[in-house]
Amino acid sequence: MPKKLIVQKYGGTSVANTGRIENAARRVVSYKKRGYDVVVVTSALGDTTDELLGLASKLTKSPSEREIDMLISTGEQVSVALLAMAVHKLGEEAISLTGAQVGIITDSSHMKARIIDINVARIRKELAEGKVVIVAGFQGMNMDREITTLGRGGSDLTAVALAKVLKAEACEIYTDVAGVYTADPRIVKNARKLDRISYEEMLELASLGAQVLQARSVEVASKFNIPIHVRSSLSAKVGTLITKEVKAMEEVLVSGITVTKGEAKVTLRDVPDKPGIAARIFGDIAKNGINIDMIIQNVSRTGHTDLSFTTTASDIQKTMRLVKKITKSVGAKEATFDKDIAKVSVVGIGMRNHSGVAATMFRALASKKINIDMISTSEIKISCVVRKKKAEEAVRTLHKAFKLGR
Name the site residues for ligand ADP (rule: CB under 6 A): 11-14, 43, 153, 175-177, 180-181, 183-186, 205, 210-212, 256
What residue 154 binds from ligand ASP, ligand ADP, Mg ion, none (CB within 5 to 8 A, per partner kind)? Answer: ligand ASP
Taking the least distance from each CB to ligand ASP, the nearer of 218 and 285 is 218
Tell the smallest beta-carbon distance from residue 153 to Mg ion (Å): 4
List, in sequence order, the alpha helices (H) in 215-305: 215-223, 277-287
Q: Write the interaction track for Mg ion spanning residues 151-180; mark x where CB under 5 A is met and - where it is not.
A: --x---------------------------
Q: Which helix (H) or strand (E) holds 204?
A: helix 199-207
Tell the smallest beta-carbon distance from residue 153 to ligand ASP (Å): 4
Please spell the DSSP secondary structure of 101-149, one letter per residue: HHTEEE-S-TTSPPEEEE--HHHHHHHHTTPEEEEETTEEE-TTS-EEE
Tell the smallest beta-carbon distance from residue 131 to Mg ion (Å): 26
Percentage helix, strand, coil, to 5, in the chain?
40, 25, 35
What residue 176 binds from ligand ASP, ligand ADP, Mg ion, none (CB within 5 to 8 A, per partner kind)? Answer: ligand ADP
Tell the smallest beta-carbon distance from residue 302 to ligand ADP (Å): 44
- Please check whether residue 258 is in contact with residue 185, taking contact to mean a CB–CB distance below 8 angstroms: no
Taking the least distance from each CB to ligand ASP, the nearer of 80 and 330 is 80
Q: Identify residue 115 by its one-letter amino acid code.
A: I
Taking the least distance from each CB to Mg ion, the nearer of 154 and 348 is 154
Residue number with the shortest CB distance to Mg ion? Answer: 153
- Measured between alpha carbons, how far is 366 from 357 in angstroms, rounded to an integer? 14
For position 348 contacting Mg ion by CB under 5 A, the verdict is no
Tell the smallest beta-carbon distance from residue 12 to ligand ASP (Å): 5
At CA 83, angle to CA 82 and CA 87, rounded to 5?
Answer: 120
- Measured between alpha carbons, how far is 76 from 98 in angstroms, rounded to an integer? 8
Tell the smallest beta-carbon distance from residue 157 to Mg ion (Å): 10
Taking the least distance from each CB to ligand ASP, the nearer of 49 and 305 is 49
Tell the smallest beta-carbon distance from residue 44 to ligand ASP (Å): 4
Q: Which spans of this chain sit near ligand ASP (rule: CB under 6 A)?
A: 11-12, 43-44, 49, 75, 137-138, 152-156
Sign of CA dihedral 386, 351, 188, 23: negative
Tell the smallest beta-carbon distance from residue 13 to ligand ADP (Å): 5
Q: Which helix (H) or strand (E) holds 58?
A: helix 48-59
What residue 309 binds from ligand ADP, ligand ASP, Mg ion, none (CB within 5 to 8 A, per partner kind)? Answer: none
Taking the least distance from each CB to ligand ADP, the nearer of 17 and 329 is 17
Q: Which helix (H) or strand (E) holds 336?
A: strand 334-338
Taking the least distance from each CB to ligand ASP, the nearer of 138 and 181 is 138
Beta bridge partners of 385: 343, 374
- Please check whether residue 132 is in contact with residue 171, taking contact to mean a CB–CB distance below 8 angstroms: no
Taking the least distance from each CB to ligand ADP, the nearer of 27 and 131 is 27
Sign of CA dihedral 406, 365, 356, 295: negative
Taking the least distance from each CB to ligand ASP, the nearer of 11 and 179 is 11
